[in-house]
Amino acid sequence: MTLFADRPRLIHGVLALFALAVIGRAAKVQLFDGARWAARARDQQVAASPLPAPRGVIRDASGEVLVESREMVRLRIAPREVRDRPRLGKLMARAGIGADWVSRATDSTNKWIEIPGLFLPTDVAMITATRGVHPLPVLNRVAPPSEGLRRIIGRTADGGVAVDGVELALDSLLRGVAGSATLLKDSRGRRFASPSENGTAARPGHSVTLTISAGLQDIAERALGDAVTKMGAEGGDIVILDSQTGAIRALSSRRADPRATAATALTEPYEPGSTLKPFIAAALLERGRARADEQMNTFGGKWTYNGRTFEDDHKGASFTLADVIRFSSNIGIVQFAQRLTPREQYEVLRDAGFGAPTGTTYPSESPGRLAPPKSWTQQSSASLAMGYEIMVTPLQLAAAYAAIANGGELLQPALIKEIHSADGALQYRHERRVVRRVMSNAVARTMRGMLKSVVDDGTAEGSSLATFDVAGKTGTAKVARNGHYVKGAYTASFVGMFPADAPQIVILVKLDNPTKSIYGGKAAAPVTKTVLEAAIAARDAALDRRGLASAPRHVAAAPPADDPAPEPVAATVVTESAGSVPFEISLEQPGRPARVIAGARAVPDVQGMSLRAAARTLHRAGFRVIVSRGAGEQWPAAGTMAAAGSRVTVPAAP
Amino acid sequence: MVFASLAGFVVLTTGVIWRRSLGVTRARAIETLATRRSALAAQRARLDGDIRAAISMERLGRAAEERLHMRVPSDSIVVTLQRAPRDAVR
């Protein structure tokens, strides 16, 4: 009876003990093991996922995006999970995946397949939505639009690792800082972003704005490609440099060897040949050791000195220093260079920037080669005067010519215009940086005059424009391989400045081993003309239109009868200048009335005169002189009305 | 009292679960949209590249020369006219 009477109390006691046990266990779990259990639960329900930082955007000088990162997908397939294999096979074939991989992905004996390559998510959207397909997002860099830009900007490998070019030089700024995301896992292991737990956001890389003008780059690339094909060259380079700021506007390189992926205008030095002569002339003028009109005996174009025979292509009994540059006389410049000591000659070239990297933002830039005088041989002084025994990169040479163009200051070439952080804050802006003064303003002006005569009636007439003046110097240099000059292999080059009187840009064209013509004046100079004509006609070629509008222009000559008809262009280009004043460029259309040529004058009669007297007479009358081989009559004939500045052809043997 | 407490507990728990489910659903929707956005951004990048290639001198210039018989004009037939500043034009 007592037992029955105590039963409820007993049950209550058991329940109370049970409750105490539960509470005790709960207390242990919560108070003592709580942290461990919470961590275990978190592992089951939450996952941390790294967030790759988007690599910074690279733009051209006008802000046009050249390279950016985009999200692609890698396709990973578990064939045994796929329910409708024939449909998956069709979708994969439609996406352009090879039949071999399609059959592997639909073969249920395979456990796991990774399709090689990356795919645009929109192209494979239906595939990634299929059961059994596990897409993996991958950040991928869009390749630059042209070969030249690819060489400048460089490449990134899988995972966004910079390999070369600007990508490598500025990798620490471009790559950004990776973040992490907190993902929730459901009961099936699927992951999705947590609505309550925020991870650390990835910080995108800085955006980089290059000094390159995409329009001018485009023009240079096409001109170089056409020239390499037309001249049968192994390759070539074009550098276009803003002579007033040092900004690199275009860098185009072509090589037959596909392994040469760098911007060779910065990495491959060469012997410049005659394009180096102006720096010797400038040094002589600067030190008062020679005058521009000082005559030098050139021995009829052949001269032996120190057991070495020098020859000129343009043979003459004597030349002034200006004519030495105009006709690229080796004999003249070698003799003039003897007025400089080896130390002075070395310093002149070193001060012009040769033998040291320019310091532009590009990895593996070559310093070139300029040996100190102590290692010179007896022939070195003469060789250097003609542009041999020295190796320069196209960029070094263009920068040195920019010093002549801007009044004597050697500027550091710049490839980076601006750098902005991801939030748009300006981190860096290029400012004109003077390395040193190479020559006085007066000497630079004299040199520009000499270089203008090279284009007007010297070795570079092929670069002459119809109305604007161009200045420049040609170079034709033998190519050395394995310590010996290769017979028949030459580098043809031309360095020009435009417009001649107030240069805005320096343009260097170099063709490697051209087979159709080896001469810089024939092979490289016309490329300069092509580039300049296209740049003048383009609306986005980074030229200062206001400066061009006020630049002195000579009147175009009437085209000879056998010239092709005027270009059938029917277009009007409207452009805005960098300032607030817009300009309109109208291209003359066929059918319009012909322009009246102003400044027409009668061609003087030079029959019976010596060649020198005839040239002087025609120059005084305002004409340019072309000397034709053999006998004949002058053209246009004496008394013909022709525009000032037009060409008159006179026979070499009247 | 006990019933009211129990009912309150059930309502509260249901509210928490409903709110959490709603959050998860919206997080999935946001994730889907983010994926879609990155896919479209990738497509835009490709189309931008295609446009750049299509309007390059290499392709457009060559096509204009071959099909329309146009040529790059020489500098002598390009006339640069300087307009007066806009604020000076009345």
A172-205 pLDDT tens trace: 999 889 888 888 777 777 777 776 667 788 889 9
Question: Exposed, middle or buried: residue A354 (CB in 10 Å: 0-12, 13-18, 19+)?
Answer: buried
- Name the token pair of A650: 């006179």
User: Is the confidence at residue A629, as pLDDT, over 90?
Assistant: no
Considering chain A, what percentage of its residues have pLDDT values greater than 70? 90
In which band, very low, low, confident or very high, does the pLDDT at A639 lie, cut at 50, 70 and 90? confident
CA distance B29 to chain A (A): 10
For residue A120, the distance in angstroms to the closest alpha carbon of chain B comes to 7
A179 bridge partner residues: A51
pLDDT band at A240 (very low <50, low <70, confident <90, very high): very high
Q: Give me the residues paired with residue A429 across strands.
A: A418
Segment A141-148 shows an average pLDDT of 81
Q: Give the model confidence (pLDDT) of A91-129 as tens digits.
A: 999 988 999 999 999 898 999 999 998 898 888 989 988
Q: Is the pLDDT of residue A23 over 90?
A: yes
User: What is this structure's pTM?
Assistant: 0.77
Residue numbers of B between 14 and 73 with CB closer than 8 Å to A: 23-24, 26-28, 30-31, 35, 38-43, 45-46, 48-49, 52-53, 56-58, 61-62, 69-73
Picking from A180, A175, A253, A183, the residue whose alpha carbon sits closest to that of residue A212 is A253
Q: What is the 3-state secondary structure (H, E, C) of A347-383?
A: HHHHHCCCCCCCCCCCCCCCCCEECCHHHCCCCHHHH
Q: Which chain B residues are Cβ-neighbours of A142 within 8 angstroms?
A: 45-46, 49
Query: What mean pLDDT comes out for the span A603-610?
Result: 80
Question: In whole angstroms, what is the distance from residue A297 CA to residue A61 CA?
Answer: 49
Counting every residue, how long is chain B? 90
Which amino acid, one-letter code, is at A354? Answer: F
CB A402 within 8 A of CB A432: no
Pairing of β A58-59 and β A207-210: parallel
Residue A455 C-beta-side C-alpha neighbours within 13 Å: 29
More confident residue, A337 or B30: A337
Cα distances (angstroms) measured from residue A489 to each of A208, A223, A483: 40, 22, 14
As to burial, measured by CB atoms within 10 angstroms (0-12 exposed, 13-18 middle, 19+ buried), residue A609 is middle
Is the pLDDT reported for residue A577 higher than 70?
Answer: no
Within 10 Å of residue A72's Cβ, how many Cβ atoms? 25
CA-nearest residue to A226 within chain B is: B58
Q: A332-349: per-residue pLDDT in tens?
A: 999 999 999 999 999 999
Dist CA A478 CA A490 (whole Å) = 4
The whole-angstrom separation of Cα A77 and Cα A136 is: 10
Q: Write out the two tokens for A326.
A: 């105009």
Q: Which of A194, A222, A548 sits opposite B80 (nearest CB)?
A: A548
The Cβ of residue A217 has, within 10 Å, a number of other Cβ atoms equal to 31
The pLDDT confidence band at residue B60, using thresholds 50, 70 and 90, is: confident
A71 with B75: Cβ contact below 8 A: no
Please state the φ and ψ torsions of residue A165, each to the nearest 5 degrees. Answer: 65, -160
The residue among B65, B72, B79, B83 with the most chain A CBs within 10 A of its CB, best to mutate, is: B72
User: For residue B84, which residues of chain A lie inside 8 Å, CB to CB?
Assistant: 581
> Which of A572-576, A619-623, A638-642 is predicted least confidently?
A572-576
Q: DSSP characters for A121-166?
A: TTTTHHHHTSTTB--EEEEEEPPPSSHHHHHHH--B-TTS-B-SHH
Chain A: closest CA distance from residue B13 (Å) = 18
Whether B76 and A537 lie within 8 Å, measured CB to CB: no
Q: What is the mean pLDDT of chain A?
A: 85
